[in-house]
Chain A
Amino acid sequence: MPVTRLLYPLYQLGNPQLRIFRPSWFLTLVRPGKEQPPDTVQFRIPMEMTKCDVKNYLENIYNVPVGAVRTRIQFGSNKKRNHLNQKVKQPDYKVAYVQLAQEQTFTFPDIFPEKERAASEGSMEEMQEKFMENEKQRQKLDPRRGGVTEWFGL
């Protein structure tokens, strides 16, 4: 059977919604550069979105109670030059500061926590680390001298 296009019935107000349209806009949650109050969340949004769009997006798709939205456009610098001395433009982007309603708070999580990297037993890394530690220990002076140098000694 040849491929035919699926035809949906014409939509009039009150009909059941058979098609769902998802927006082609995507929000990016970012860590704020400057310290923000606990109820404020910072997003990078597409240039075409407005404050009302952001509010509806978050409330309908993610069920986030939104109090107020403020937006600004960040200019991407056009100062850098490449090896051909041509100006290289960093893209502009829009930033939205969303204040949450119902006294909710949000803190940006720590995505790259510091890990205690202990090398596994018997491996090359562990032997190298031990060797480096020993070298450093040899460079240090005798602790019984209390920081005095060995220049004027026996």
Chain B
Amino acid sequence: MLWETNGSYVNGRTSSKSSHTRNMAARTRLPLLFPKKLPPLRNRRLAHTEAALKEPAYPPIVPSLTAKSKCARVRQVEDQVKKICDSPVEEKLSLITRIQRKKFVVYPQTFARNADRWYQHFTKTAYIPGLPEKFTLGPERKTQAEEEEESSPPAAAHTTLPGVDSDAFADIRSLVTRVILQEHWHMKKRTPFLYREQEQMVGPFLRNLVTGLTHSLATYNPLLRLSSLDIAPQVNFYWRRGQRIIPKGHRRGRQEPTRFQIDDQPHCQIRITQQLQQFTPLEASYAADVPEVTFAPDLLPLFRRQYDNNIFTGAKLPDPACYGHTQFHLVPDRYHRDRMARQQQSDQVEVFLRANGLASLFAWTGAQAMYQGFWNHEDVTRPFASQAVITDGQFFSFFCYQLNTVALSVETDANNPRKNLLWGTESLRLYEGVQDGAVVGLNDGVVKLLVQFLMNQP
């Protein structure tokens, strides 16, 4: 384009020409010399081009995040679930237990009648009387085990155990008698105060028994050497199951999930570094049946409170012994069988023991699973197994629990065929009594079961 100036001395044109015609002429004037190299065609609109090769990339059509609509709420929930799934374990736990709401506090040791049926419904557990196969040893199975093991020489009939020979078993028997005599014969204890009898008489006995047994069986069970024995630990678990319609208030008519919390304090427990082997495969639990209770938990009676939602196995998250082995529980004076007999409630004794075993073991295995990162929307990939022994000094009951599913809330439970399993025995008497410095009627079967429980290893 030619440089245009108004001065007449540049091009020799007079200013008498009207500017309009001059501008017009300037616009239509082309350069005198056609340049050899044309400037690149910046405007390609007129040139023939084929259609664009790329598809236009629109953002995905999703429901709004902040609108006051049901799909927005669904999207918010999905985002929260995804956020929890993507975070590491400590953050997962803190995100799940962040919001405090009114929840039912489930006490493992409860006065409520027929509590074990209700607790089975809350935890989706099926009860199987008796113990799993590895603990019930008949004569044929024992000889097979002996042939496989070859570590224990074939010895007298019912006192042999795989991995433990009869001398060691005799040692253990004498240890048990020593512990019983120490607490009930040699120690001079003053008459206990009201409702302090179990704590004073049986508490130390159980503690000594557990410590002595773990020490003597550590030579045979390498897991116990790296285990952790806790005295009176805290075990907490928080979960949601079922829902109800809110009857009154500003949220009336809406669905609300029922939340539960267990705060348990077993007498002592053993935590190990490796996980115990499952008692039965996961698929075997599909056929088990769980009692359904259609009534609200209030009718048990169960009461609601609002406080911190805790999930705790007995040790904090970085602890290497994060898997559970055995818990030992003490039956308090309030639920002692003599007192229940005086109140004509002897049938509730077994119910109490089952409810105690169920709730405590569910809380422990659930917390172990949470520590590994499994939660409501990410179900466990392998079953978590633990054991418990509940005693009141003379009578021992043994329980085995296998946690197959932790997805118990309404959304995740709709198509979940898995159920948790609880095996349990009736209460077995360990000894008849103590007379003249000797234990009368020591039951070898119970000692054998105790040893088998502690010898359990993956």
* Number of residue pairs A-B, CB distance < 8 angstroms: 20
Within 8 A of A (CB), among B280-332: 295, 299, 301
Tell me, in angstroms, the Cα distance from A37 to B344 when the chains sit together: 21
The answer to whether B113 touches A68 (Cβ under 8 A) is: yes
User: Smallest CB-CB separation from B294: which chain A residue?
Assistant: A35
Tell me, in angstroms, the Cα distance from A153 to B209 when the chains sit together: 98
The answer to whether A36 touches B299 (Cβ under 8 A) is: yes
User: Smallest CB-CB separation from B344: which chain A residue?
Assistant: A101
Tell me, in angstroms, the Cα distance from A37 to B345 when the chains sit together: 19
The answer to whether A37 touches B301 (Cβ under 8 A) is: no
The answer to whether A99 touches B295 (Cβ under 8 A) is: no
Tell me, in angstroms, the Cα distance from A37 to B347 when the chains sit together: 19
Interface size on A, residues (CB 8 A): 12
The contact string, 1 if C-beta is below 8 Å from chain B, for chain A 75-93, is: 0000000000000000000
Within 8 A of A (CB), among B103-148: 111, 113-114
- In the complex, what residues of A have CB within 8 A of residue B113's CB? 39, 67-68, 99
The answer to whether B345 touches A40 (Cβ under 8 A) is: no
Within 8 A of B (CB), among A92-147: 99, 101-102
Within 8 A of B (CB), among A16-31: none
The answer to whether A70 touches B344 (Cβ under 8 A) is: no
- In the complex, what residues of B have CB within 8 A of residue A102's CB? 347
The answer to whether B301 touches A70 (Cβ under 8 A) is: yes
The 8 Å CB contact of B345, one of A35, A36, A70, A101, is A101
Size class of the B contact interface (CB-based, 8 Å): 10 to 19
Report whether over half of chain A's contact residues are helix, strand or loop; otherwise say mixed.
Answer: loop
Report whether over half of chain B's contact residues are helix, strand or loop; otherwise say mixed.
Answer: loop
Q: Given A67-B345, A99-B113, A101-B344, decide whether A40 and B299 contact each other with a Cβ distance below 8 A.
A: yes
- In the complex, what residues of B have CB within 8 A of residue A68's CB? 111, 113
Of the candidates A37, A70, A101, the one having the most CB atoms from chain B within 10 angstroms of its own CB is A37
> In the assembled complex, how far is the CB of residue B340 from the closest CB belonging to chain A, in whole angstroms?
11
Tell me, in angstroms, the Cα distance from A39 to B115 when the chains sit together: 13
- In the complex, what residues of A have CB within 8 A of residue B344's CB? 65, 101
User: Smallest CB-CB separation from B112: which chain A residue?
Assistant: A68
- In the complex, what residues of B have CB within 8 A of residue A70's CB? 301
Tell me, in angstroms, the Cα distance from A37 to B113 when the chains sit together: 11
The answer to whether B295 touches A35 (Cβ under 8 A) is: yes
Tell me, in angstroms, the Cα distance from A67 to B301 when the chains sit together: 14
- In the complex, what residues of A have CB within 8 A of residue B295's CB? 35-37
The contact string, 1 if C-beta is below 8 Å from chain A, for chain B 376-393, is: 000000000000000000
> In the assembled complex, how far is the CB of residue A69 from the closest CB belonging to chain B, in whole angstroms?
11
> In the assembled complex, how far is the CB of residue A12 from the closest CB belonging to chain B, in whole angstroms?
27
The 8 Å CB contact of B299, one of A37, A67, A101, is A37
User: Smallest CB-CB separation from B114: which chain A residue?
Assistant: A39
Within 8 A of B (CB), among A54-77: 65, 67-68, 70
User: Smallest CB-CB separation from A36: which chain B residue?
Assistant: B299
Tell me, in angstroms, the Cα distance from A53 to B113 when the chains sit together: 20
Tell me, in angstroms, the Cα distance from A145 to B347 when the chains sit together: 69
User: Smallest CB-CB separation from B299: which chain A residue?
Assistant: A37
Tell me, in angstroms, the Cα distance from A40 to B347 when the chains sit together: 17
Known contacts A39-B113, A70-B301, then 8 further A-B pairs from the complex at CB < 8 Å, ordered by chain A residue: A35-B295, A36-B299, A37-B295, A65-B344, A67-B345, A68-B113, A101-B345, A101-B347
Please list 20 pairs of residues, one from A and one from B, whose beta carbons are closer than 8 Å in the complex, sorted by A's number: A35-B295, A36-B295, A36-B299, A37-B295, A37-B299, A39-B113, A39-B114, A40-B299, A65-B344, A67-B113, A67-B345, A67-B348, A68-B111, A68-B113, A70-B301, A99-B113, A101-B344, A101-B345, A101-B347, A102-B347
Chain B residues packing against A (C-beta within 8 Å): 111, 113-114, 295, 299, 301, 344-345, 347-348
